Amino acid sequence: MDYKIELTEEVEQPVLSMRTVTAVTNLPQELGKAYHAIIDYLQQNGTQPSGPAFAAYYNMDMENLDVEMGFPVVKKIPGQGEIKSSVIPGGKQVSCLYKGPYQECGPVYEAMTKWVQEKGQTLTGVAYEFYYNSPQEVPESELLTKIMFPLK
């Protein structure tokens, strides 16, 4: 399948996030818990996310997945408790918009990795996914996920 892979230069993006290590089987519950906590915190502060929910994957160990979950915000906001003020780093990024079930996005990761290697670029080792809708809103076949790799 052909994927539309893009190389862009982005500015640093402030976020509020929570980070945990979990088995991939527990990921939906962890994502839900983090997103609800952050939305509640934003509402208490009279603000809202400036973009779609995201998850950053710092490894691909399916039993001990190191994942950061959160939302972009307009400006840095202090964290509270498990909610941290962080950033998505600026710089070169390669991305692809994927439509379909989450569990079937592996070929997109493979195509993007191959593209990066062919272009002589270097991955940082972190993978971001931005979720433009959710399984509660649309059928799995209609899920939109932007997959993004920061580059060194």
Q: What is the pLDDT of residues 44-98, one digit of tens each?
A: 999 999 999 999 999 999 999 999 999 999 999 999 999 999 999 999 999 999 9
CATH fourth-level superfamily of 5-150: Regulatory factor, effector binding domain (3.20.80.10)
Domain boundaries, the chain: 5-150
CA dihedral 59, 65, 66, 70 (to 10 degrees): 110
Give percent of the chain with pLDDT exceeding 70. Answer: 99
Amino acid identity for residue 91 in this structure:
G
Mean pLDDT over all residues of the chain? 96
d(CA 118, CA 112) in angstroms, rounded, equals 10
d(CA 26, CA 4) in angstroms, rounded, equals 31
Give pTM, 2 decimals: 0.95
